[in-house]
Structures are given as C-alpha cells and as structure tokens.
C-alpha cells in the first residue's frame, strides 16, 4: 500500500461519518446518501494528492452528488429491497415532539437546493461565497435559497427557529 493510499484511508476513516450525515441531510435517504458518499470519495481517490483541500473537495462533492441522486430519473435509481427502511414521514400525534424527527421531516419538505444551502451554511458553517463555490451558483442565489429555506422551515415547524448568531451575522454581513 502506497503512502498516498494510506493517507486516503486515514482521511476516509475520519470523514466518512460526517460526510454520510451531510449527504443524508441533503437527500433525506441514508442509502442514497451512502451512494453519494461512495461516488464522491471514489472521485477523490483518483485525484488524491492533487487536491489542495480534500475536506472541502469531499464536502462539495458529496453535497452535489446527493443533489444529483435526488434528481436521478426513477429508471436509473437502484431499487433497494433489503434492509433499508422507508423514510416515511408519519404524522406525529404525540405532543412531545422529537425535534430531530420533526426537523428531518421539515427538511424533506424543503426543496433540495434550499436544503443543501441550509446544511452547508448552518451545519458545515460555510460562508455565502464558500457555499456558492461549493454549489457552483451565484452568491445571490445562496442568499435567496437561505432566506427561502429558513422561511420554509419556520413555516413547516411552526416554531420560532433561531439560528446561530455567528452564522447569521456572517449571513447578514455577506
């Protein structure tokens, strides 16, 4: 095993779980998320040693792959019949709302690009320019998606959704 491959293995071992979560929040399906992560990291393997910031590259690649997975036509999607449980959103009749489940449900109702912007900005902590670069879209689009995404989440959750002051300040400043 070469040094390059050892470094790559170490990187994957350290980042895989975070990348899975990122992909999951973007696409809303764990299996699709894993497919996206696998494809993105396979591309990174080919370019390993030539990428300046592997973490940023992997993050961008995973988000874009996750978005692509949601756009993939149904006839090109792999149909899983194994241990994957359907991510069906069932109405929660229990008054004690589990925030995590509720947020996941709310996220799935937000358009995927809005969702990707929110994840990159408020989970990964990217700035507007970084998010725009990662998604290859104008910064104005990132701002618009952020605003619409937050509005949608607030409307769906019906709650006062606060955001990190640090992130918000960066959002406002940019």
Partner 1 sequence: MKLSELLLAAREEAPAARITVDDVVAAGRRRKRRRNTGWAVAALLAVIAAIGVPQLVARPSVPPVTPPKAGLLDLRFSGYRSGDLRVGDPEWVSIENQLASIGRELSPGVYRSVGRLALYPTGSVPHTFRMDGPRESGGAINGREAWFIEVLPHAVSTADSLLTWQNSDSSTGVLASYENRLSRTEMMRLASAFRVSPPRPARLPFAITWVPPTMRLAAIDVSRPRATTAVLLPGPDRIGFELDPAYEQPQFVSSWSRPVSDSMRLPGDLSFPRTTPGNAPVPGGGIVIGVQRSFMPGTGPTPKCATWAGQRNVRQCQAAPDATSNLVARAGHDVPEADLQRVAAAGRIVGAVDNPGTWPTTQESFPTSAQVSRD
Interface residues toward partner 1, by CB under 8 A:
5, 8-9, 12-13, 16-17, 20-22, 24-25, 30-31, 34, 37-39, 41-46, 48, 99-100, 103-104, 107, 118-119, 122-123, 125, 150, 153, 157, 159-164, 167
Q: Give the integer Cα–Cα distance in Å for 6 and 40.
A: 18
Q: How many CB atoms lie within 10 A of CB 97?
A: 12
Give least dist CB 140 to partner 1, A. Answer: 21
Nearest to 110 by CA among 154, 72, 73: 154
Task: Say if residues 62 and 43 touch (Cβ distance below 8 Å).
Answer: no
Give least dist CB 25 to partner 1, A. Answer: 6
Give least dist CB 104 to partner 1, A. Answer: 5
Give least dist CB 81 to partner 1, A. Answer: 14
123 versus 144: smaller Cβ distance to partner 1: 123
What Å distances lie between residue 20 and 25, 30, 54, CA to CA?
9, 8, 16
| Structure-block tokens of residue 85 | 């449980």
| Structure-block tokens of residue 17 | 């779980």
98 versus 138: smaller Cβ distance to partner 1: 98
């Amino acid at each position: 095993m070469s040094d390059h491959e050892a470094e790559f293995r170490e990187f994957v071992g350290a980042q895989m779980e975070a990348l899975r979560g990122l992909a999951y929040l973007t696409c809303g399906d764990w299996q699709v998320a894993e497919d996206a992560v696998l494809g993105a990291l396979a591309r990174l393997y080919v370019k390993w040693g030539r990428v300046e910031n592997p973490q940023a590259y992997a993050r961008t690649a995973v988000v874009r792959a996750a978005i692509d997975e949601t756009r993939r036509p149904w006839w090109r999607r792999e149909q899983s019949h194994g241990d994957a449980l359907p991510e069906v959103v069932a109405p929660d009749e229990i008054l004690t709302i589990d925030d995590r489940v509720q947020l996941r449900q709310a996220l799935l109702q937000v358009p995927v690009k809005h969702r990707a912007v929110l994840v990159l900005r408020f989970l990964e902590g990217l700035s507007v320019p970084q998010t725009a670069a990662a998604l290859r879209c104008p910064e104005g689009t990132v701002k618009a998606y952020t605003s619409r995404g937050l509005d949608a989440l607030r409307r769906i959750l019906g709650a006062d959704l606060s955001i990190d002051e640090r992130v918000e300040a960066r959002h406002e400043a940019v």
